[in-house]
Amino acid sequence: MNARTTAQRVRRGEISAVSVLEDSLARIHAENPRLNAFLRLDEEGARAAAERVDALVAAGDDPGPLAGVPIALKDNLCQRGVVTTCASRILGEWRPPYTATVVERLAGAGALLVGKTNLDEFAMGSSTENSAYGPTLNPRDLSRVPGGSSGGSAAAVAADFTPVALGSDTGGSIRQPASFCGVVGLKPTYGLVSRFGLVAFASSLDQIGPFSTTVEDAALTLEVIGGHDPRDSTSLRVGAPQLVAHVDDGVAGRRVGLVRELFEGADAEVVAAVHTAAEVLRAAGADVVDLSIPELSLGLSAYYIIAPAEASSNLARFDGVRFGHRVSGEDVTAMMEATRTFGFGDEVKRRIMLGTYALSAGYYDAYYGQALKVRTLMIDAFARAYQHVDLLLGATAPTVAFPFGAKSHDPMTMYLNDVFTIPTNLVGHPAISVPFATGEGGLPVGVQLLGPGMSESVMLAGARILERDREGL
């Protein structure tokens, strides 16, 4: 069952939250040792939550719109007292003293938070091969990566462990694994979802969003987790979005831009899927027009200066002094050096060094300053495009899921996986990946819809059209 159907049946007393949870846990125990989607489970906490939901139903009260729905959390989202590692050795057995706003909102809506999922360390990667706790396998093909950095959350939904999972998206880390695993992945407008309690990677880019089996479930989850939070200084002063009521609005009369730069260079089956998606939207009443936004070709270069620069600052707090794992040294400097050398993996070290270099004296203007100017160019380019169209259409990733080890030897090859997703993060707009077709080996191909800020309702309605007409899945 999908999340909305599950919640409706639990709220009506047709099934119990406890039975839903036990079914979910049984699947996880059977298959997770092979997939490694979950790093740890919170069975005690989830069972207590399920019992509370059933007690509320028995008393005639409404537990909330996600009543009895098992949900997985990416392991960079804090839960008070629950081990949170960001898939890094440097955090060890760290138990946060506070809970992320999104986690509080899910629990308040009756969701059952079953555990923490695997990721690329500190959300830095595109394959979940960079985890200190081993890679996650793609449920569609165990020889392939699930994408990253939110690969564990994508795999948990694809394997039917939970109907919904949360991930974070800094440069495509929800949408790309959604495409690789054949599920829906939604990156909301920057600031619509609170980042309080999300362990920061790049603060001007990070955003929390849902994975789900259906577009409607993504809409429902975003309704629950969205809205203003005074604890997040970047939170938009808006209420919770109303989205489920609009998922079937359709696209009649909408203008959709088929953006050449968002599929150019992709594999043939990916390009074919994008063009077929355009025809589906056209048949549903949309006016689909060819569009070029040349500035998008600059996105990858700008991102890999801005994101590492922010990461080098954010990760300075992990020094072995206040929390997390500590390696002894003969003085404080030696201790910090030994701790960070042991605690961080190669990709995290690479990005810290890149970011520190870009921010250093003599290079700041040449690199970081220039990247910020490129970001402004991209914001202006998107704004011009949205004067003429309501939505943009393109590919989510250039290829289907690739084999383990195929790109880990060459960072630049790996970074190119994000070429179609990064522009949205740089400008702060929403985007969604919908499984639409199949490619090599019958593996899923996702297509991507993009919209201007706060256009989630229109974007989800377009995604719903694609979901209803997808090929081969």
Q: What is the mean predicted confidence (pLDDT) over 150-173?
A: 98
Overall pTM surpassing 0.75 (yes/no)? yes
Q: Answer yes or no: 74 catalytic.
A: yes
Among the listed residues 149, 153, 312, 433, the single catalytic one is: 149
Q: What is the mean predicted confidence (pLDDT) over 143-147?
A: 98
Residue environment code for 375-384, b if the CB has 16+ CB neighbours within 10 A, otherwise e: bebbeebbee
Q: How confident is the model at residue 470 (pLDDT cuts 50, 70, 90)?
A: confident
Q: What is the pLDDT of residues 31-53, one digit of tens each?
A: 999 999 999 999 999 999 999 99
Bridge partners (DSSP) listed for residue 116: 40, 73
319 C-beta neighbours (distance < 10 Å), count: 18
Among the listed residues 16, 127, 168, 173, the single catalytic one is: 173
Q: Answer yes or no: 173 catalytic.
A: yes
- Most confidently modeled of 72-76, 318-322, 341-345? 72-76
3.30.420.40, 3.40.50.11540, 3.90.1300.10, 3.30.470.10: CATH of 3-241: 3.90.1300.10
What's the rounded Cα separation, in Å, for the pair 444 and 178? Answer: 9
Phi–psi pair at 209, nearest 5 degrees: -155, 175
> Residues 40, 80, 341, 174: is their CA dihedral positive or negative?
positive
What's the rounded Cα separation, in Å, for the pair 393 and 260? Answer: 9
DSSP track, 309-326: HHHHHHGGG-SSSSSS--
- The first and second tokens of residue 156, run together, are 């948990």
What's the rounded Cα separation, in Å, for the pair 70 and 207? Answer: 22
Among the listed residues 74, 116, 187, 407, the single catalytic one is: 74
- The first and second tokens of residue 61, run together, are 């009260």
pLDDT at residue 471 greater than cutoff 60:
no
Q: What is the pLDDT of residues 201-247, one digit of tens each?
A: 999 999 999 999 999 999 999 999 999 999 999 999 999 999 999 99
Q: What is the pLDDT of residues 417-461, one digit of tens each?
A: 999 999 999 999 999 999 999 999 999 999 999 999 999 999 999
Contact (Cβ atoms closer than 8 angstroms) between residue 179 and residue 431: no
Domain boundaries, the chain: 3-241
What's the rounded Cα separation, in Å, for the pair 423 and 84? Answer: 29
